[in-house]
Structure 1
Amino acid sequence: MIQIQVWADFECPYSYFQTIVLEKMQENYQDRVEIVWRAFELSPVEGNISPSQSYLSNFEGAKLEPIVADEKLKLLRPKFLTYTWLAQESVYFANSQGLSLKLARALFDAFFLNGLDISNEEVVMQIASQSGMNGQLLRQALDNGELTKHVMADEQEFKIYGFQGLPAMLIGEKDFSPKSFMPINGFKTFDELSAIIRSLNV
């Protein structure tokens, strides 16, 4: 089985696109590919801040990607950037229930299509529940602090691998040494990612 570990941020449009592609990979390869969510927050902030000009320029460039038209995504220009740590911890926890991509997609939709505040606990918990998560188990996991340790470790590993931006992926055979995994930086289309998977003889 091939494992794809993906680092992504909920305010990064290219991370959103990569999540959509990974959903399609999961549909097409099913039990031959496992997707594992890894966390990285591009712009950790307290409260809400206005997007920088560089962020907005990046967002406008992302809107030109073919996947936007193909998926009929009606992207809203973000009015604010916020603290996404709660969302990251929740999706990390969803790995254990096989729901990480479903929850990640729902959180991306909430931010980019509906303009919701995904730093708000009530919003995140509602989205998690709608995605099939057990809200009580998620709240317990969030409260005991273990998820925070895992997310911090993910961010440290991102730096160790020397990734320069998001999304970023490690692709290789599950249960093999991480050193054998192929590092991939930047958004990859379904065709590009499929070619990489085929090169690994899946």
Structure 2
Amino acid sequence: MEIKFFHDVLCPFCFLTSMRLKNIVKDYQDLKIKHKAFMMISSLEDLKAIAPTEADAREVFKNEFNILTRYLKDYDPDKPISKGKIGYVWSLPPLMACKAAEFQKGDEGHWDYFSKAQEKFFIEGEDVTNDDVLISIAKEVNLDVEKFIQDFKSKKAKLAVIQDEEEAKAMGIRGVPALLINDKWLIRGLQSEEYLRKVIEDLEKNGEPKNVELKAYWEQ
């Protein structure tokens, strides 16, 4: 079984979904997670349109961080924001960096890099569009740093992000997280770990949903 996980480093619901999938994948030997990029903030101009100053941008992201307080015990959104490093942050640079990791180590490398980038953003309050931050993550997840530096701003990495997003849009996906199972069954938004396990077990047993409510992407 393959799950395509469409996500953005800047997405709090993707942060939660990623953690839940990591718990799940350990228990299903034949389950493969394929990582796909999707930009929530596709340009700085889009962000500046709703946040004229960097202080305004920090407030936008603080609201996103506040979402995590509903799900993570003792999470304090003020802690990462108070560092003052998050301002005009947008989706493409960290997603291109994830693709550079994928070029080296496949989906496992993409996931390792994605997870660490989200930790840097949501927990440590780092600007994940900053070159030094992105390179430091590459070091932390044991990539070939020289190759990463060649790749993470390359046309190849940018095209890979764009292709993922075009794939998503062709299936009617307009936001993340989104999970596409076996290129057919689409799950939108944040779901509980319990529900995701039920879906996987249902499809493994029956080949199609019998015990859970689930639709093909073209039916949604």
Which structure's relative contact order is higher, taking Cα pairs within 8 Å and 6+ residues apart?
1
Distance 1:27 1:132, change over 3 A: farther
Distance 1:113 1:55, change over 3 A: closer
1:105 paired with 2:126, answer no
Distance 1:162 1:55, change over 3 A: farther
Equivalences for 1:7-86 in 2 at 5 Å? Answer: 7-29=6-28, 31-46=29-44, 49=54, 50-51=56-57, 56-57=62-63, 59-65=65-71, 68-69=72-73, 73-75=75-77, 76=79, 78=81, 79-86=86-93
Distance 1:139 1:56, change over 3 A: closer
1-structure distance, mates of 2:132, 2:80: 23
Q: Aligned-pair distance for 1:194? A: 0.9
Q: For 2:180, what is the secondary structure of its paired residue?
A: strand
**CA deviation map 1:133-192 (0-9, x unaligned):** 2212222223541111111111112211112421011112xxxxx3xx211110122211
Who is 1:157 aligned against?
A: 167
Q: Is the 8 A contact 1:5 1:35 kept in 2?
A: yes
1:44 alignment partner AA:
S
Equivalences for 1:123-202 in 2 at 5 Å? Answer: 123-172=133-182, 178=183, 181-201=184-204
Q: For 1:63, what is the secondary structure of its paired residue?
A: helix
Q: For 2:6, what is the secondary structure of its paired residue?
A: strand
Q: Aligned-pair distance for 1:82? A: 0.4
1:21 alignment partner AA:
R
Q: Aligned-pair distance for 1:100? A: 1.9
Q: Aligned-pair distance for 1:108? A: 0.6
Q: For 2:164, what is the secondary structure of its paired residue?
A: helix
Distance 1:83 1:6, change over 3 A: same
Distance 1:194 1:64, change over 3 A: same
Q: Is the 8 A contact 1:37 1:91 kept in 2?
A: no
Aligned length: 189
Percent identity over paired residues: 19
TM-score (norm 1): 0.81
Q: Is the 8 A contact 2:65 2:122 kept in 1?
A: no
Q: Aligned-pair distance for 1:111? A: 0.4
Alpha-carbon RMSD across the aligned residues, in angstroms, is 2.5
Stretches of structure 1 that go unaligned for 5 or more consecutive residues are 173-177
Stretches of structure 2 that go unaligned for 5 or more consecutive residues are 206-220
Q: Aligned-pair distance for 1:57? A: 4.6
Q: Is the 8 A contact 1:37 1:92 kept in 2?
A: no
